[in-house]
Structure 1
């Protein structure tokens, strides 16, 4: 049985970009915990504050969007961008 090929417009990339404060010890700890959360959930580091992951569709992206939202650090700025594989 042959598996169907996924359309490059259906595959979605999620980019998580963040700028977190790291002056105080607790801020460094939160920033490290957030980065480890992303790595533990299959995201790859592009730069120190940019992580990406490829998803099979919009529904999978929405699940991870909620997970990230639930694990945000108390301070700083986190942005999430989703684009199709074709756009990437």
Structure 2
């Protein structure tokens, strides 16, 4: 499953800018990677993990702005079409697991 997070946060005052930076750092620290500006994605194994992530985001959301979450399956995510540009391969973007013995 993929969690897609879309947000639009105000950045007029210094406090709003700090809230934006704090929220963005929280996303990255918790495994989200940026698809586009203000669009982040996270791979989750099941709905229980997704609910846990949503609860964590609810506890760490900024006081103002718009934050939306969309949960889709891997098949739906794989069908994403890139109309312009190219996908970034800097981020490990797979659900496969590596076991080292």
The alignment's TM-score, normalised by the length of structure 2, stands at: 0.74
* Superposed displacement of residue 64, structure 1: 0.1
Counterparts of 1:28-47 in structure 2, within 5 Å, are 28-47=17-36
For the pair 1:19 / 2:4, whether they are aligned, the reply is: no
Counterparts of 1:3-82 in structure 2, within 5 Å, are 12-82=1-71
Deviation digits for residues 33-60 of structure 1, max 9, x if unmatched? 0000000001001112011011111111
Q: CA RMSD in A?
A: 0.6
Greater relative contact order structure (CA < 8 Å, 6+ sep): 1
Which is richer in strand? 1
Runs of 4+ aligned residues of structure 1 deviating over 3 Å after TM superposition are: none
| Alignment match of 1:86 (pick from 70, 75, 96) | 75
Distance 1:31 1:63 in 2: 22
Distance 2:25 2:36 in 1: 14
